[in-house]
Amino acid sequence: MRLRNKPWAKDKIEQHPQYIVPNPVDFKGRWHEAFEKAQPLHIEVGTGKGRFITEMAKAHPDINYIGIELYDSVIVAALDRLIEADLPNLKLLNVNAADLAKYFAKNDVARVYLNFSDPWPKVRHEKRRLTYKDFLKLYEDIMMDGGEIHFKTDNQSLFEYSLMSFSQYGLLLKFLSLDLHKSDYEGNIMTEYEQKFSEKGNRIYRCEVKYQNEQ
């Protein structure tokens, strides 16, 4: 998808350090200090315009959330949502997901959400997929033992690839739906893409996997 350039976006981001953390490396290993309460931390990698992470933070005030988005022109939409909601348990990071280890230490994160990630369908781009083995290792390195990944997509090929990648990595499958909106799953919060794709009749795939590294 082609992104519309918003030259004012960076200035707006810098004007709201209470919502988009300007120096996330400062909180590595102590993210509880960035929030009003010390609570389990869940992150969304590729938060887009922020609908999912904002609604999750509203629905679960006993959990702290961080939405991670690389593109300035996209994260400002999530910023607008957060300014309006003014949630004490939600922050945003304008950083590259490939650099997560710079900003999070082992045991910082309890859960990672991957929602409608770029499928990178060409074989030569496999390493860019957020469910590629190198990313799975990256998530493991910042998560608590037994941490979870919750994954949603409308792309069947990416979902099949991801299930294979999770299995090969040794992750435990906890939940699987091949048609989420026709299942009995409760508490689903839709992303912008999810609503758009489901209204077109696209099937939504979802799974939950867990790292089997408890001591």
Residue 207 and residue 151 in contact, taking contact as beta carbons nearer than 8 Å: yes
Q: Alpha-carbon distance 33 to 64, whole Å?
A: 11
Burial of 5: CB neighbours in 10 Å, binned 0-12, 13-18, 19+: exposed
Q: Alpha-carbon distance 12 to 20, whole Å?
A: 10
Q: Which position among 11, 26, 118, 179 bears the catalytic label?
A: 118
Q: Tokens for 207? A: 């799974």
Active site residue 118: yes
Task: Tell me the CA distances in angstroms from 71 to 14, 43, 94, one per residue in order.
Answer: 14, 17, 7
Question: What radius of gyration, in Å, describes the C-alpha atoms of the chain?
Answer: 17
The two most distant CA atoms of the chain are separated, in Å, by: 48
Catalytic residues: 118
